[in-house]
Structure 1
């Protein structure tokens, strides 16, 4: 039986609230197909053979095959089929044991984890406490340039107690450590990684996961094969390929022709084509991902002025964007968290008020008609992302602001954010977003890699909130932060994403709110 302290019980109760909230209705849509998600529609096709290769169309390539290095959805989703976490989430987002079987905090600075016995890496190395210590130390070591490091800065030491027990010592109370371990930490084979070096390990990854690495062709495909010795049993699907297809239209064409069997982020104007095709159906789930327009204060431009940022909030009509561009596939946000987030609090909705926007700009001594801004967007990463950017530009043009929309390849988009090369505004999504700290610390602090907003007083509030262990006090602190961030107009909040998947009728697949493609959970119809 899993042991927990009172704080962890509170966390589980909060996840229960999340589970009840994460429904198609929460996402602002009704199910896009009459059959339940993951249940194939009737088909005249012959059933797929169990040995058939599954090909998933994916929007961008992984940055690396190393675990614990790149804070990037497209990297994480692919490598989670190679590596296992200590703690996982089930298909509805609840915490479940994986390579760790039990956990508890012994005192406010010490956490104990019991590890699963008898597990081996795919090269034969034993999984044990030393492997866990190696991977956490990897994150903390500055020379490895892990983008996770800022999220783990309060880890002081990892102690190996015995082969199946570790203690994690923190420098201050770290009440969300279990969530960080769940959402960040994957376990690489330490001996292999040390012997071949990071560069070669990145090209030949070894984990304990359901699939083994076979071949990675940059910007083309990642090929994996089933780990027949997997500790949870042999995978039903024996061959797996992530096929990199950046453009929506190309992914759709590949799916309709049968070249790929599954892809995410179906354009809303193409749902009927998938539903009416011979090959596929639509599955939908309310995602835990949020989408937003960052108003970049790291760039020395007009958005450093709070009044300008507030003006943009008044000048952008999010309700109209949802209706006209996304066909209602999303739920409007008014602050940095969505309603499915366990720490969510109701915040002010600026609403659409172009006259108020113009007045604020004039108060800031800026003529809207002379204001020129740049808006960067990824191309094909989020539902209708470039269309959303163009629609925002059009709305701002109505009050005279000229907006240059710059569409970026996904990897370049992330690099520009990390290196503070973005200009005035950029579109980004964040998720899985289950807890306030996981969003607010990572998107509103000076040193976080994907932050687009920094204010020294807000940062002081964040740092004060992080070590609070009492659930009620912690909730109050993050409530205050949500209101402060809205008042500062740190973002134009957009929506909680509604995810649409094109699914082969022969594939048993259930979409998850955390967006993972866990192929071990899938199988072909017999």
Structure 2
């Protein structure tokens, strides 16, 4: 994840206006994918529809969901996740620790970037130092971004030998490999791409199964990497496909029609605002569908730095007034078919932090009590403005929230902007503003089974942990970056302590207790979980099985879509 120093955008699995979010449910495949498995055959050129713009090849602005899946045909990370959520080596051969503070990593040998550079310790340390913000003074500001606050617990990275290195943390973190995986976003770039802003923006250079050919914001083409380091189980060269062209198609109906007409061979969808198209495709026997697991948890972030949610009674009134079940039935269900789940915690049941204690269930009586207390404090009725992305579905979602709040006597004004403008304002560049300007912001940030994509967005400052010297002394220049992930802009020391201590302990009991502290403070209010789907032509095979380099099965479907390495066209 990265933020531009000139124009900050956090376009990562992002859900604006309760309509541009991600999606989830149990992994499943429907349609003709149940047919007899054929022997993979090489060859084929396919076209894939995505719903996110390809905004950059460099660090910033960050690529969202389906666009991330496109660029990950070129880039690969040090780590990957198994289907059960376990983090395992990918470009790495092994990793270990004895104290959860100093971690040792060993790379696989013989892997090269697409430009011929070796993947070795020097290349990896260059990548990690860039993510940590340590190269801005060496190569330029293009290397800075939101990875800086995300890597705040990393004190240093040092070589051991040509293929081994170590990472030292400020404080123990048992699940650090999950943070280094970073939702698949900490991928390795060729050193030559990192060193100049021109090279960084011109073309992505990774180690992946496909090489970059050409790209604009609306189209991204890759071709087979004939020197790819991986083989299939039979020893055959990977990948199978000759080329993939990813095309930005904003309207879900056009993506669905594209699959049916043959103009698209595959397309990604999200249950945030595309349930109608998803349900229709699931019923089409000529279309194959695959869904992501239930690991994506959007929330409404309440800004405590400005009125009205700097008042605790305002936050509690909102939490009690939000009838999430009514919203779910209105926006997540079509003809009796519902996608996603109604939340009972700020994260889902698959996450180690899941806890119903402190969760504010819909209670109109309690909401009105809190509204009365708010008015006693301020002399005002509760009202706020909700930003809404400029799409029909996003507006429909926001209107549903508006109507729900009206039942409690809370006035909500809707303000439509482009999704990219909302994100740029919510995650501003250091020094350009005080922080997120929105009173309330529906967004998808939390995901997975661990803490790596929850805690960094819940603490007030990712460097505020005990013994952390990020942003201090020689690193003082990076200090403005560490609060950037806090959309709530809270200053609650008790919340910070509970979260940091729980992460260091790493026990389910400590993490669940931290969730209770967060939920009691009504910092965020959860919305229905979301699901990602891919619809595919019946001629495509191999998409439902992702075999990892270290063995075992990876997650066949995520917010970034499917892994294209083993996909082939049936003859």
Q: Are the aligned partners of 1:69 and 1:139 in contact in 2 as well (CA < 8 Å)?
A: no
Give the SS at the match of 1:346: coil
2:338 is the counterpart of 1:306: no
* Partner of residue 334 from structure 1, selected from 319, 328, 344: 344
Match in the other structure for 2:331: 325
CA contact (8 A) 1:89 1:95 kept: yes
Aligned mate of 2:511, from 450, 460, 478: 478
Residue 231 (structure 2) pairs with residue 236 (structure 1): no
Q: How far did residue 29 of structure 1 move?
A: 7.8
Partner of 2:564: 519
In 2: Cα distance, 1:306 partner to 1:71 partner: 35
Partner of 1:160: helix, strand, or coil? strand
* Structure 2 runs not aligned, ≥5 long: 1-22, 137-142, 232-237, 429-434, 462-481, 545-555
Could you say which residue in structure 1 is the equivalent of 2:275?
268
Report the Cα distance in structure 2 between the residues aligned to 1:120 and 1:223, rounded to whole angstroms.
Answer: 21
Query: In the TM superposition, what whole-angstrom CA distance separates every residue of 1:103-130 from its partner, at most 9, and x where no partner exists?
Result: 1114443211111001111111111111
Cα deviations by residue, 1:396-424 (Å, 9 ceiling, x for unpaired): 12223222223443322321210235422
CA distance change for structure 1 residues 401 and 471 in 2, over 3 Å: closer, same or farther? closer
* Paired residue secondary structure (2:244): strand
Structure 2 CA distance for partners of 1:213 and 1:257, relative to 1, 3 Å: same
Contact 1:84–1:209 (CA under 8 A) maintained in structure 2: yes
41 and 414 in structure 1: CA distance in 2 versus 1, 3 angstrom threshold:
farther
2:353 touches 2:515 (CA, 8 Å); kept in 1? no
Distance 2:157 2:379 in 1: 55
> Do the aligned partners of 1:344 and 1:436 also contact (CA within 8 Å) in 2?
no
TM-score, normalization: structure 2?
0.77
Aligned equivalent of 1:257: 261
C-alpha change, 1:92 and 1:377, in structure 2 (3 Å) is farther
Q: 1:442 to 1:63 in 2, by over 3 A?
A: farther
Task: State the partner residue of 2:534.
Answer: 501
Counterpart pick for 1:373 among 378, 381, 384: 384
CA distance in 2 between counterparts of 1:444 and 1:386 reads 30
Q: How does 1:128-167 map to 2 (within 5 A)?
A: 128-141=120-133, 143=136, 144-167=143-166
Which of 57, 71, 79 is the equivalent residue of 1:79? 71
> 1:491 matched to which residue of 2?
524
Query: Relative to structure 1, is the Cα distance of residues 191 and 271 closer, same or farther in structure 2, using a 3 angstrom cutoff?
Result: closer
CA contact (8 A) 1:68 1:139 kept: no
- 1:303-355: CA deviation from partner (whole Å, max 9, x where unpaired): 11111111111111111222221013112223322111133233344222223
SS at match of 2:293: strand
Query: For residues 74 and 449 of structure 1, do their structure 2 counterparts lie closer, same or farther at Cα, with a shift above 3 Å needed?
Result: farther
Q: Does 1:288 align with 2:290?
A: no
> Paired residues, what number?
486
Partner of 1:347: 357
Are the structure 2 counterparts of residues 372 and 138 from structure 1 closer, same or farther at C-alpha, using a change threshold of 3 Å? Answer: same
CA shift, 1:288, in A, is 1.5
What residue ranges of structure 1 are gaps of 5+ in the alignment? 1-25
Asked whether the 8 Å contact 2:290–2:534 carries over to 1, the reply is: yes
Query: Scaled by the length of structure 1, what TM-score is found?
Result: 0.83
The CA deviation at 1:426 is: 1.6
Higher RCO structure, 1 or 2 (CA under 8 Å, sep 6+): 2
Residue 86 of structure 2 is aligned to residue 103 of structure 1: no
CA–CA separation in structure 1 for the residues paired with 2:41 and 2:112: 29
Which whole-Å CA distance do the structure 1 matches of 2:285 and 2:379 have between them? 51
1:460 aligns with 2:496: yes
- Cα offsets for 1:457-510 (capped at 9, x unmatched): 245315641662x443xx343222211111111122113323333222222222
